[in-house]
Amino acid sequence: MAQLIAANWKMYKTMAEATATATALAERLQGRIPSHREVLVCPVFVHLAALAPILRDAGIALGAQDVYPADEGAFTGEVSPKQLQDVGCTHVLVGHSERRHILGEADALIAAKTRVALERGLAVVLCIGETLTERRSLQLEAVLFRQVSSALTDLPAAVTERLIVAYEPVWAIGTGEVATLEDIDAAHGLVRRMLRDCLGASAAAVRILYGGSVKPDNAGAILQLDTVDGVLVGGASLDAESFARIVLA
């Protein structure tokens, strides 16, 4: 199973900046992506179509940061799976902690997004993770279980081959405070067990990424953990040189 090295550009960059970063990244990675790695970049919606050809030529996949769980309709401001695929997306992030905690997305909406996007043929990176308060009050396992089971129960086995889970402890996102290798290993072990409980045998094909202050100088050690199948990178993915170093770490 190839490791997935994913960039979440969040709400950063103008069109000119996004194009320049994608071009620089494509130049750095052209013909150099290790055979055991895949690379994904997730810019804002309005940059997807422009970045698609630049990234595709370098063998880098394109993903959106969100999706609405319907094919079309009166959903002002939203974007459907088909519209994402139409501009070149193969992947989409769902349930990122910033959407859960800043935009107030609930488990039921995240479950619908996960299901519909998978059914329409997108690879879904389902993001989960506990807040510091939840961790300190020993709710890590309960929170992860709620987030995993609400999104994945009763998913048809045929679509789970496109499912990816990203464990992103909220307290490690954008804080420079990376979880310890022991924390990551333990949480990923828990998530793997929950995936087996929810999905049965098809859980084995689901990659579990770590996200939260991944940088060029800690990515190598994190990616060496047996329980880690890739990383989801925010801040350190905004610079082509820095993200390329993580891909090659």
Q: Which positions are catalytic?
A: 96, 168
Question: Could you give the CA distance from residue 2 to residue 50 in angstroms, rounded to a whole number?
Answer: 27
Give min distance, CB of 177 to ligand 13P, in A.
Answer: 9
- Quick one: 124 or 202, whose CB is closer to ligand 13P? 124
Of the candidates 231, 140, 244, 124, the one whose C-alpha atom is nearest the C-alpha of residue 178 is 231
Give min distance, CB of 210 to ligand 13P, in A.
Answer: 10
- Quick one: 29 or 209, whose CB is closer to ligand 13P? 209
Give min distance, CB of 109 to ligand 13P, in A.
Answer: 18
DSSP line for the chain = --EEEEEE-TT---HHHHHHHHHHHHHHHTTTS-TTEEEEEE--GGGHHHHHHHHHHTT-EEEES---SSSSSS-TT---HHHHHHTT--EEEES-HHHHHTS---HHHHHHHHHHHHHTT-EEEEEE---HHHHHTT-HHHHHHHHHHHHHTT--HHHHTTEEEEE--GGGSSSS-PPPHHHHHHHHHHHHHHHHHHHGGGGGG-EEEEESS--HHHHHHHHHSTT--EEEESGGGSSHHHHHHHHT-
- Quick one: 202 or 212, whose CB is closer to ligand 13P? 212
The answer to whether 40 and 61 have CB atoms below 8 angstroms apart is yes
Where along the sequence are the contacts to ligand 13P (CB under 6 A)?
8, 96, 168, 173-174, 211-214, 232-236
- Quick one: 69 or 234, whose CB is closer to ligand 13P? 234
Give min distance, CB of 141 to ligand 13P, in A.
Answer: 21
Beta-bridge mates of residue 167 = 128, 210
Give min distance, CB of 173 to ligand 13P, in A.
Answer: 4
